[in-house]
A and B are shown apart, each in its own frame.
Chain A
Amino acid sequence: DAGVIQSPRHEVTEMGQEVTLRCKPISGHNSLFWYRQTMMRGLELLIYFNNNVPIDDSGMPEDRFSAKMPNASFSTLKIQPSEPRDSAVYFCASSFQSGEQYFGPGTRLTVT
């Protein structure tokens, strides 16, 4: 299996622009998680889906952040408009029932 796939791996954008991060979970997994990692705040859970349905989005920092999972093999995390404090590494992870999550390589976002 190819593992969890994230794109792009790096994104540099200017403040105010829209940013869309993409994730393809491992085939057969039915849960998907979006995390953000920074030096200051560590690893934060933003939102997670079970069977394509958002279960808990309490970690989404502001209304500027939104996430969708239109089908079992694709999810997006969108930031609109982006701000410099959104600069971080964003990870997607997926799992199948055991609690054991598999992480993607991450997207490093820099907002200038």
Chain B
Amino acid sequence: GDSVTQMEGPVTLSEEACLTINCTYTATGYPSLFWYVQYPGEGLQLLLKATKADDKGSNKGFEATYRKETTSFHLEKGSVQVSDSAVYFCAPAVNSGNTPLVFGKGTRLSVIA
């Protein structure tokens, strides 16, 4: 079946450090890919998405590129801030249309000043 493997945390970085959170998936076809972020005490929010191969999703300084060859969608940010401390979830869509996303286990990021 479809699944997603996400880098395990927790990840602790100093402010302005570079961030990479790895995500690989298995799926039939070419699903849309999403990253969600969950700040403490809140629900999940869509961070960015990519819908086809080589697309790059970006938002708030975060980027992720849809790599069909390696079935990966790694999340990157060049300079993290304390306010980026949250849990990040990788989520491929199994099929187009209204079917559930498959969420990774989440990676907790802590950024210290």
Answer yes or no: are A and B bound together in one complex.
Answer: yes
A interface residues (Cβ-Cβ under 8 A, vs B): 4, 30-31, 33, 42-43, 45, 48, 50, 56, 91, 93, 95-106
Residue numbers in A under 8 Å from B44 (CB-CB): 43, 91, 93, 101, 103
Q: Taking the nearest CB of chain B, how far is it from the CB of A1, in angstroms? A: 14
* Sample of 23 A–B contacts (CB below 8 Å): A43-B106, A48-B100, A93-B44, A95-B98, A96-B98, A97-B97, A98-B32, A99-B31, A99-B97, A99-B98, A99-B101, A100-B32, A100-B46, A100-B49, A101-B46, A101-B101, A102-B46, A103-B36, A103-B44, A103-B45, A105-B42, A105-B43, A106-B43
Name the residue of chain B whose CB is nearest to the CB of A29. Answer: B98
Binding site for A on B (CB under 8 A): 31-32, 34, 36, 42-46, 49, 89, 93, 96-101, 103, 105-106
Nearest-CB distance from B100 to chain A (Å)?
5
Q: How far is the CB of A47 from chain B (nearest CB, A)?
A: 10
A-side interface mostly: strand
- A42 and B105 within 8 A (CB): yes
Main secondary structure of the interface of B (DSSP, over half): loop
How many whole Å from B5's CB to the nearest CB in chain A? 13
Are B46 and A43 touching (Cβ within 8 A)?
no
Of B34, B103, B105, the contact of A100 (CB 8 Å cutoff)? B34
Decide: A97 and B98 in contact? CB cutoff 8 A: yes
Residues of B within 8 A of A43 (CB): 44, 89, 103, 106
Check B43–A103 contact: CB distance below 8 A: yes
The answer to whether A99 touches B46 (Cβ under 8 A) is no
Of all chain A residues, which has the CB nearest B43? A103
